[in-house]
Amino acid sequence: MTQKTFQFINPECSTFSKDAASPASYIRREIEISGDVKRAVLHMTALGVYKAYLNGEELDDRLLLPGFTNYHERLQYQTYDLTDRLNSGKNVIGVILGEGWYRGCLGLTSVKAFYGSKVQLAAELEVETDDGISVWKTDENWLATQDGPIRQNDLKTYETVDMTKELTGWLEPGYDASGWHRCVIGGYDGKCVPHEGEPVLEREQFPAKVLKTPDGNTVLDFGQNLSGHVQFTVTGKAGHTVTLKMGECLDENGNFTTKNLQAEGSAEMGFNGALGQCLTYTLKEGSQTYKSQFLISGYQYVLLENWPEEVKADNFTSIAVYSAMPFISDFTCSNPLINQFVRNSQWSWRSNSVDIPTDCPTRERAGWGGDINVFSETANFYCDTRKFLHKYLGDFMSLQTEEGSLPFIIPEVPFELIKGLKTQRIPYSSAGWADALVNIPMVLYRFYGDTSEMEFVYEAAKKYVDYDLKRAKKRNWNHLLRLGKHYDYILDTGFHWGEWLEPGSVMVKDGVKALFTPDAEVATAWLYHSAKQVSEMAHLLGKPEDEAHYAEIAKTVRNAYRKEFLKGGKVTSKRQCRYVRPIAMGLVDYEEGRVIAKQLNDMVITGGYKIGTGFLTTYRILMVLCDYGYVDTAYKLMENEGCPGWLYEVKKGATTTWENWLGVDDNGKPTDSLNHYSPGAAVAWLYQYCAGIRLEKPGFEEIKIQPVPGGSLTWAKANYESCKGTIVSEWKIENGIFYLHVQTPAGVPTTVILPDGSNHTSNGGVMNLDCKIG
């Protein structure tokens, strides 16, 4: 299927105002078909978010269509086969059109109408009967009203519903639409492309527990933090209004709160965005069931206000909503806290894969590149992300500037430092965030052995590295006196988030610091990493000149890094990230890494096995420690139940992974998002090291199973549905013997390395092995 040209229609007569609530548009078109339908295909899209019906039935169960893309450039359209659903005679296509990402609130500061101020619909129905082919397009014959029940709608902030305005029968033929108006022909300058992403669907459901909080309020606890909506049944008098406010936690006094959903420090800086997560619902007479149509929230708790009857748990269900990528793996072990950590990480992944990979399902809901960059290995152990990430990479590239710079939020979202003041375009190309464009295709290659994504991004990736090189040649004003030719390859200009959120740091202060002092160590390391990856891509794509060129760049940057940041082969820093990064990224050779790994190990031990890394190295620290034999330290770090540490939050009852290591303090005070997936990226270590399913040869052409047992664990097991077939690795320790059960797909060369160092090979199938363990 290819790009399509549609005729767009605008269903609104009034002019949009950012300060007024925008009711949803209800749009209908009656269509009369003469003769039997042989074939009927409908294509539909919208600037906004639509829910479409045919003769009263939803077209399909996908939500939030047409999905979030860089609307300035491209918009997905959906295709429905209606051959068996269209009646001969009268039919009605009905659409509810909401704000969505197009006109709704976006980003940290919840700015409205970034992509445009007119919501629009586009559809084309082609029907073949014995009489021939007829085509219906969206035009002035499509009727609309804004006088329906959804009075205000937004994905992130508010949905206001007045059921006394219910439009009974509007989806059926013969409805009296005399009060409705004709739509106006509109237009869209971007490209309309076939739907690429994964469908966003309703998934798991959770029952409620009713709580009375100390402040006298009624709060529902669904037991699982997630992204979704609440379905409720309520009985009462017409005109009575209730509210449901969604939040992630209770505060230090046990009361409902959403305060943690403002970025720590942002109130002081004066840029709080409207958070909302609030459904206001006015009842019609009697009993009724509702769930928000366009509002999707991040929550575990719901504060009910003004409920007209006794609150009964059975009347409420929490429904998870996310991109439907089935889980293809599982990991469990003898430490139940680690198992809960894995579950939490999975739930944060679900909550943050709602059409695009986001940071959190609450405060920003933005497609931060750094978050998916560090999480991409873990995500691919969980699910087949190819479709989901392909769409994301497409938007990533569409945002590349002429000079080669790449965004760090994809698709783009606005930022308003002072309310009402011109929306600033967020600065570009932060190291570790923008580099996701280069790294994600390489991760996909390792999982699937397929070069198509690298081919897809190749030119953009080259351009980005070239751009970074140019930035490196410029000198930061406070480094003007630094001499040495190598400094031309130290990237100390531009904006970089840096390591980000190391324990104890305050997010907004970190952000402001990053504005003035880019962290050259982080930025230079990523420049090396991306140059090296582009050279690898060139190799795999059969472009020897590029391969040599980018390999040379990588080598020069690597030398510059070593000269600038290593003193006699050692690192001098109090920060753990400074030790992890050069090893993890190959900025030092294995032998040289010994000294640095020892320094890191000593540091972690002295620090009482507390994690000290931020966003960009937390996902690698355990691997680095194990690669140098510090297995005991790695497990103590993983199993540490104090703060900062992965299991601290599990002990505090978390059901998702937190943004901030101290997400809930000892007094129970919550800070920042409690649903960020990036810290859960340590799960890739559990699969690859603890269970031993290594990413050795791309696409699992050859499989290496090398479990690294340790800590308190007496058993661990993982299974993973690889592109070659099922891989299982299960081990247990009994009476000083390590028993391993391995299963790999038939015909795939497999090497198993036991903890005693012994090697065992097979051509796939089952292997049961054992060895002594000290």
**Which residues would be at the binding site for ligand BGC (CB under 6 A)?**
263, 359-360, 364, 368, 370-371, 497, 500, 676
Specify whether the CB–CB gap between 350 and 322 falls below 8 A.
yes
Q: Which residue is nearest to ligand BGC (CB)?
A: 359
CB-based contacts of 460: which residues, under 8 Å, 6+ apart? 396, 397, 400, 406, 437
DSSP per-residue string spanning 172-206: STT---TT-EE-EE----SEEEE--SPPEEEEEEE
Q: By C-beta, is 66 or 361 nearer to ligand BGC?
A: 361
Nearest distance from C-beta of residue 496 to ligand BGC, angstroms:
10
Amino acid symbol at 565: F
Nearest distance from C-beta of residue 373 to ligand BGC, angstroms:
9
DSSP per-residue string spanning 372-402: HHHHHHHHHHHB--HHHHHHHHHHHHHT--T
Dihedral class, residue 663 (left if φ above 0, else alpha if ψ from -120 to 50, else beta): alpha
Q: By C-beta, is 150 or 434 nearer to ligand BGC?
A: 434
Q: By C-beta, is 477 or 516 nearer to ligand BGC?
A: 516
Nearest distance from C-beta of residue 168 to ligand BGC, angstroms:
43
Nearest distance from C-beta of residue 273 to ligand BGC, angstroms:
11
Nearest distance from C-beta of residue 420 to ligand BGC, angstroms:
22
Q: By C-beta, is 371 or 627 nearer to ligand BGC?
A: 371
Q: By C-beta, is 111 or 634 nearer to ligand BGC?
A: 111
Return the HEC string of 106-142.
ECCCCECCCCCCCCEEEEEEEEEECCEEEEEECCCCC
Nearest distance from C-beta of residue 526 to ligand BGC, angstroms:
14
Q: By C-beta, is 425 or 570 nearer to ligand BGC?
A: 425
Nearest distance from C-beta of residue 37 to ligand BGC, angstroms:
49
Nearest distance from C-beta of residue 516 to ligand BGC, angstroms:
15
Nearest distance from C-beta of residue 348 to ligand BGC, angstroms:
11
Phi, psi of 521 (to 5 degrees): -65, -45
Taking the C-alpha atoms of residue 508 and residue 674, their distance in angstroms, rounded to an integer, is 17
Token readout for 24 is 């949803």
Half-sphere exposure of 597 (CA within 13 A, CB side): 25
Q: By C-beta, is 229 or 676 nearer to ligand BGC?
A: 676
Nearest distance from C-beta of residue 431 to ligand BGC, angstroms:
11
Q: By C-beta, is 199 or 357 nearer to ligand BGC?
A: 357
Q: By C-beta, is 157 or 317 nearer to ligand BGC?
A: 157
CA angle 77, 78, 79 (to 5 degrees): 130
The 3-state DSSP composition of the chain as helix, strand, coil percent (nearest 5) reads 30, 30, 40
CB-based contacts of 138: which residues, under 8 Å, 6+ apart? 6, 7, 8, 9, 29, 121, 122, 123, 124, 183
Q: By C-beta, is 268 or 305 nearer to ligand BGC?
A: 268
Nearest distance from C-beta of residue 428 to ligand BGC, angstroms:
13
Q: By C-beta, is 247 or 764 nearer to ligand BGC?
A: 247
Which ranges of 296-429 would DSSP assign to H, the alpha helix?
A: 336-351, 369-382, 386-398
Q: By C-beta, is 535 or 673 nearer to ligand BGC?
A: 673
Taking the C-alpha atoms of residue 174 and residue 30, their distance in angstroms, rounded to an integer, is 8
Nearest distance from C-beta of residue 671 to ligand BGC, angstroms:
13
Q: Are strands 143-145 and 750-753 parallel, antiparallel or unpaired?
A: unpaired
Taking the C-alpha atoms of residue 492 and residue 482, their distance in angstroms, rounded to an integer, is 11
Q: Are strands 74-81 and 191-194 parallel, antiparallel or unpaired?
A: parallel
- Give the orientation angle of helix 631-639 with respect to helix 336-351, to 10 degrees: 70
DSSP per-residue string spanning 606-667: HTTS-----HHHHTTHHHHHHHTT-HHHHHHHHH--SSSSHHHHHHTT-SS--SSTTSB-TT
